[in-house]
Structure 1
Amino acid sequence: MLETTHHWLPIIITFYVPLSFFITYSIAVENKHVEPGFPYISYTGTTPPESCVFGQLLNIGAVLAGVIIYTRYRQSRFHFEKNQNNENCQNGQNSQNGQNCQNGQNGQNSQNCQNSQNGQNCQNSQNGQNGQNSQNCQNGRNCQNGQNGQNCQNDQNCQNGQNGQNGENGQNRARKCLLHLNTAAFITGSLTIFGVSLAGNFQATNVWEVHLVGAFLAFGVGFVYMILQTIISCMSVSLNIRGNSLCIRVLRIVLCVADFVLFIILGIAARLSISKGPGPGISRLHWSSDEPGYAEHLVATISQWLVAFITLIYFATFYEEFKHFQMTAPQVTPRTPGNSVVPG
């Protein structure tokens, strides 16, 4: 089923994760564990029983995100390697054609040399006729000039071939760069979903240090993943990948800029709110508008929610590209007692 319906995964996760947040938020508000409004996402799942639901739902979301990240990695790798192989085959054919053309040209040059020698012999046999000798000299000179012109043309062809080779080398370097960027994006994406799992299973009020590491991986490294995917999208325009339209590329750039701005606002507002409040003896889970620093706290929490939603919207942009290919189910191949693969 996943072979032909995998393109729905980016849409599913875009709706699934916010629904998970609202479920745990509702449970936390109902049990009066947090104040209504905009608490931090992690605060809605830090106290039992919502902490159990929060961790489980985020684990499922991390698995879905992992499938999407791996699918994106294999899709990009397929296009980059396919175009590189096609170019190598074309280069091999051009090399063979170029060799044949060179052989034909050498034959023509040999014939020109023979004609030139015949012209000289004819000139020697008619030494008595000065007028004819002058004409023969002129003909010989014209023949030599023609040969020089052909040599100039050969030099120009060699120069054009060298320019084409330089262009092909540049394309090969670009494809190698794309393959390296694709691998780096897969690694950063894997770290991102690992951070989501850490943040969901190590609650903020229980193991703060581990939760902070998970949040950094989920939001900070997740932003790096978005940047890498945007660079890959813009660099692979010449490959004509279906679904990688101009609108998708512009949307991804806008999402990266918005995510960066909100991430900076989140860091500054969170630091300011902690320095001002919420006041002695008051938990941050019950930060109300009457306490100092609440305005900065509200800016930080809203920014965090928006950063999370922007990341999910970015995943949704993969939908258009995922529609144009299908996955292949893994094949099981038996092995003989000698640990060699049985041919199919």
Structure 2
Amino acid sequence: MFWFEQGLCFLPAFLVVWSSSTFIVSYLIAICRHDVDVIFPYISDTGAEPPESCIFGLMTFISACAGVSTIYARYKFVEKLGQETGVARTCLNRTGLVLGMLSCLSMCIVATFQETTLIIVHDAGALLFFSSGVLYIILQSVISYQTYPFGSSSCLCRVRSGIAILAALAFFPTAICAYFVKQSKLHRDTDDKDYPFHLASAVCEWIVAFSFICFFYTYIDDFKLFTLRVKTELKESS
């Protein structure tokens, strides 16, 4: 049996590979077409103009679907651990599920409403995506410590906590510096007064985004431990 055939580990593995490809492919296409600057554009800038906007939107939607599946599977895994060992709190697990689903929904909003069309909706979706995503991985780090040693190893718990702290620290300059960026053009001039804020915000945005990817990568070993099955029940006709 290959490693990706064990349990449900193919879910987070696919999510990590596909999400990374989404960011990288749209960035490379935008660079080749000279639609954005080479040095740290916003992630959404790389998917603002066609044809990369079409590719970015499609790949982001698939990432969101993979994210929903992975987050739900994680929820059921923690729920099962809680039932058998009593180590996980149901309220935290459900809150994590809601935050994760909200993050996936807002990801679709960001990809659908480009900043060059409806910037208010785009920015609101981006803020919701990053804030709910950061809260989700923080909560999952707490849950990992609660379920130890039944769920994850102590080393993995520390890794998740480190990733969550990094994402949280990078989120604040992302949002704060973005507030001071007054221009929404795709090509930036280093002489612009708000360029330092743009650069700081963009760098931190990429850090937060890849923190999410790294966090889901830590799910792979956990997902080898369980499977999910759909049970069909037919109701008797009266």
Q: Is the 8 A contact 1:195 1:217 kept in 2?
A: yes
Are positions 1:255 and 2:163 aligned together? yes
Matches within 5 A, 1:127-166: none
Q: Where does residue 96 of structure 2 map in the other structure?
A: 185
Q: Give CA-to-partner distance per residue, 1:289-310, whole Å, 9 cap, x none.
A: 2433323321211110111000
Question: Given the alignment, which residue of 208, 212, 215 partners 2:119?
Answer: 208
Looking at structure 1, the residues matched to 179 and 127 of structure 2 have their Cα atoms a distance apart, in angstroms, of: 15
Looking at structure 2, the residues matched to 295 and 210 of structure 1 have their Cα atoms a distance apart, in angstroms, of: 24
Looking at structure 2, the residues matched to 196 and 321 of structure 1 have their Cα atoms a distance apart, in angstroms, of: 25
Question: Given the alignment, which residue of 147, 163, 180 partners 1:236?
Answer: 147
Letter in 2 for 1:57: M
Structure 1, unpaired ranges of 5+: 85-173, 339-344
Runs of 4+ in 1 over 6 A off after TM superposition: none
**What is the percentage of aligned positions where both structures have the same residue?**
30
Once the two structures are overlaid, the 10-residue window that deviates more, 8-17 or 196-205, is 8-17
Instruction: Tell me: CA distance 1:318–1:60, structure 2 relative to 1, closer, same or farther (3 Å).
Output: same
Give the aligned CA root-mean-square deviation in angstroms: 2.0
Q: Where does residue 194 of structure 1 map in the other structure?
A: 105
Q: Where does residue 266 of structure 1 map in the other structure?
A: 174
Q: Give CA-to-partner distance per residue, 1:79-111, whole Å, 9 cap, x none.
A: 101225xxxxxxxxxxxxxxxxxxxxxxxxxxx
Q: Where does residue 309 of structure 1 map in the other structure?
A: 210
Instruction: Report the TM-score when normalising by structure 2.
Output: 0.91
Looking at structure 1, the residues matched to 217 and 196 of structure 2 have their Cα atoms a distance apart, in angstroms, of: 32
Q: Where does residue 201 of structure 2 map in the other structure?
A: 300
Larger Rg: 1
Once the two structures are overlaid, the 10-residue window that deviates more, 185-194 or 75-84, is 75-84
Looking at structure 1, the residues matched to 15 and 232 of structure 2 have their Cα atoms a distance apart, in angstroms, of: 30
Are positions 1:62 and 2:64 aligned together? yes
Letter in 1 for 2:102: L
Q: Give CA-to-partner distance per residue, 1:200-256, whole Å, 9 cap, x none.
A: 11111111122122112211011111111111111223xx314x1111111111111
Structure 2, unpaired ranges of 5+: none
Q: Where does residue 75 of structure 2 map in the other structure?
A: 73
Q: Is the 8 A contact 2:68 2:104 kept in 1?
A: yes
Q: Where does residue 32 of structure 1 map in the other structure?
A: 34
Looking at structure 1, the residues matched to 61 and 7 of structure 2 have their Cα atoms a distance apart, in angstroms, of: 22
Matched length: 235
Question: Given the alignment, which residue of 202, 212, 224 partners 2:135?
Answer: 224
Q: Is the 8 A contact 2:103 2:128 kept in 1?
A: yes
Q: Is the 8 A contact 1:194 1:217 kept in 2?
A: no
Q: Give CA-to-partner distance per residue, 1:86-144, whole Å, 9 cap, x none.
A: xxxxxxxxxxxxxxxxxxxxxxxxxxxxxxxxxxxxxxxxxxxxxxxxxxxxxxxxxxx
